[in-house]
Structure 1
């Protein structure tokens, strides 16, 4: 088998394996921390985005002529971690899903995230400008691993030093049996009221939400009683399909307009961001920078901060304001639009500011969207819905990078090549010496290479922000119902 087919097979297996890791970690943590979905998703996706920078630093320490050692470590290491943790991590429920110390624990992890990002930026800059010895690089990597494992102090502290009293295993078993028995005996009684309440949410007018709590409860009770009577007479058919905020299957979610609006908004935002990440090398060279390594590394850091920050700020919005999480996504997409506009203008320093804005906005997508989908369509089938949403990422990259950015880049590169050919003597040796007759791909120089594609992506990001605001308008009543009790 040739090398290229082998590489394609390895990439296929590797990317599919990564999907299993993402799905397992996200679904388990969202089920275990339903009251902190934004921070949970942001931290998980943030470290997933930062893993490349961490492995790069590890490679700097283990750099040997035999690259097979590093490949073997990357291939076997994640599997060993999963096998070791499968006996420790498990879904929990009830009182264990919410602890009084959760807020402090998340703040500690956020502090570690900021410190880790700052440390990696500093290490990368030092390694780029100074020639460090192997001992110094090893010391820097040891400090990096200390920062990485420091969050383990949280479960250790809660397990051995927490004074919170929980029921004993015997009491928990008896409690679970009692709850199961109660649920089985009252199943028929609960089914119809739940359906009636779902109908009430659709039948009640918007003015009811603005009434005082006592009057609102009375109006809803009257409406529910009327629906029950109408259902008994056969005048109203109680629908059994889920409503937003309840558990959907993937097929049920696919017929909802909100799901497709979320998918399209994700396509416009993440697709344009991934296009910048894929073309950073050409963009930096066109802007006059010889080495794109710094921009790639910095974008990874900004992506990490965007994921962590997106989860944190979107959680504040839903918890303190009971407002849809997508308002934070709209702000992130506006930042991305500004970043693309800066790329198009090519002013001095815009490469740094553009990568900062686009990296932050792109990262925020992968903290906000999964949390919002789990809230609107439930966590029971969240894994299937999340993996369907991720299709928006390569689809957007195919449209923006494969069809728009690459075509405009090649067009401008050909124009510059023809311009050079017409301005020099028609000597083949001279043209070959200038690199115009080489077999390699054409290169484009100057801001003109990406000005049109950057402006197009800026417009699409604004459109994505508009779709996010439309989702906010359509789901604000759902979030008001879900988080009304948590508003201070």
Structure 2
């Protein structure tokens, strides 16, 4: 039986990987400088934001590689893609030899690297925590929402960049931080193949407490905290989870000492009890796998069959019109802030990142407690309740007040993070787990598609309001865009309610 301490150490490794796996999320901070430096239009800038999402179209390569390569090598390869993609941009950013299309290809390469790290983290969490895979995956991937916050804090603490000199510090950090963390945690990234399905409730409770403290620290630091002090605080909170595997190791030592004192007869009896306990726990896990009455072993849908299901298209478009739309908003946050005369883009990005972290954590907390109470909240219903306030936040942006800009950014960041996290379990709830890898990759193709469509529309309307100028100033720059986005997100809420009504028969 594998060591519990090593299992938890692997989870912490995935949390650290995810915390630096959103290098593309700091793009809004330096996008304006990139636009001026390379003399590109708003439409071209939008295509660069889309390039990172376009890398997800080839994310299936990471899943294929994970079958044949050691798992620790998969995130290292992904981080290497980021090292090349952002590193070349850093070295030649001010050179005329680095053309716009070079930037596009390099950004897409770095975006594909994100998929490799995600793949390794998913597999480790699912294999090493079979009884709590949803909770482990949600807890781990929740940290990706902190990425923008981490990169902005590091940039401020190390480089003190001026508002019009943001690009190079961020590109350098985007290139080197992921590869350094990947090499650091690679020794702990292993699939245990464990048969130990017993739950460690106290371990997850401690993790949630530390995670909540980390989120609170991130939010507080978004409002004017000294950069170096805030960086140290976040660094300490990211290392505190190590107390869980250390406590596990201490308990293992005590159990081993106790075990060696027992007679062989007691050992044989204990083995029988463990085997019986595992069979009981397997039954409990299967019961916990029931989602609103739809249990494992029910009809599985996968591959091309998925495209013939009305439920899939309701789910696909509700996801595209909400969470993907939120990602487009965050990608355009730099230009939105600039159009309103707001120079502290990094503050807005940090704010959206911090609340996105809480949004991603919320489904994991609900999963943790609901599986123990025997009741699971319907995923479509949960998503619909998040889409409604998100739609309202887009309409609030029509008010020129900076307070509404802060409020809307907070709501959109939190809801986008939560919906993205819920989508993983929603796919299994609606279409089963047998073909999850294929199904979810099909679902998330909505991200590059939606990123292109909504981003391109926003760029066209921006350029029209600019009237031939390089940049646009005023609330009018995104006024029509916010109306369209708010209406689209309202439609997503309606589609998700219809999806919930169709699947209610499983409740």
With the shorter chain as reference, the TM-score category is: 0.5 to 0.7
Q: Note the residue ranges of structure 1 that are not aligned, 5 or more in a row.
A: 183-208, 210-241, 418-435, 481-488
CA distance in 2 between partners of 1:348 and 1:8 (Å): 32
Provide, for residues 3-60 of structure 1, a one-character-per-residue CA deviation record: whole Å limited to 9, x for no partner: 2354444323322221021122124323544554553343222211212322333344
1:38-437 alignment runs, 5 A limit:
38-63=134-159, 70=173, 73-74=176-177, 76-81=179-184, 83-87=186-190, 89-93=191-195, 96-99=196-199, 101-102=200-201, 104-127=202-225, 137=228, 140-161=230-251, 245=298, 247-313=300-366, 321-347=375-401, 349-403=403-457, 405-414=458-467
**Alpha carbons of structure 1 residues 140 and 350: separation in structure 2 relative to 1, 3 Å:** closer
State which drifts further: 368-377 or 56-65. 56-65
Provide, for residues 125-183 of structure 1, a one-character-per-residue CA deviation record: whole Å limited to 9, x for no partner: 335xx6x7xxxx2x543332221122222233234326899999x98xx99xx99xx9x
What is the CA distance between 1:463 and its match in structure 2?
Answer: 1.5
CA distance in 2 between partners of 1:364 and 1:358 (Å): 10
Specify the alignment match of 1:3 in structure 2. Answer: 98
Matched, 1:13 2:116: no
What is the CA distance between 1:115 and its match in structure 2?
Answer: 1.4
What is the TM-score with the length of structure 2 in the denominator? 0.65
Contact 1:262 1:369 in 2 (8 A): no
Contact 1:247 1:379 in 2 (8 A): yes
Pick the aligned partner of 2:474 from 422, 439, 445: 445
Larger radius of gyration: 1
Contact 2:340 2:473 in 1 (8 A): no
**Alpha carbons of structure 1 residues 375 and 149: separation in structure 2 relative to 1, 3 Å:** farther
CA distance in 1 between partners of 2:466 and 2:370 (Å): 46
Contact 1:244 1:377 in 2 (8 A): no
What is the CA distance between 1:380 and its match in structure 2?
Answer: 3.9
**Alpha carbons of structure 1 residues 259 and 271: separation in structure 2 relative to 1, 3 Å:** same
Contact 2:296 2:432 in 1 (8 A): no
State the secondary structure of the residue aligned to 1:345.
coil
**Alpha carbons of structure 1 residues 356 and 61: separation in structure 2 relative to 1, 3 Å:** closer
Specify the alignment match of 2:498 in structure 1. Answer: 470
State the secondary structure of the residue aligned to 1:126.
coil
State the secondary structure of the residue aligned to 1:333.
helix
CA distance in 1 between partners of 2:437 and 2:259 (Å): 31
Provide, for residues 45-84 of structure 1, a one-character-per-residue CA deviation record: whole Å limited to 9, x for no partner: 2211212322333344554999697466335224314531
What is the TM-score with the length of structure 1 in the denominator? 0.67
Contact 1:46 1:308 in 2 (8 A): yes
Specify the alignment match of 1:217 in structure 2. Answer: none
Q: Note the residue ranges of structure 2 that are not aligned, 5 or more in a row.
A: 1-91, 162-167, 261-266, 280-292
**Alpha carbons of structure 1 residues 471 and 312: separation in structure 2 relative to 1, 3 Å:** farther
CA distance in 2 between partners of 1:36 and 1:477 (Å): 26
CA distance in 1 between partners of 2:389 and 2:485 (Å): 12
Matched, 1:455 2:483: yes
Specify the alignment match of 2:13 in structure 1. Answer: none
Contact 1:39 1:308 in 2 (8 A): no
What is the CA distance between 1:245 and its match in structure 2?
Answer: 4.6
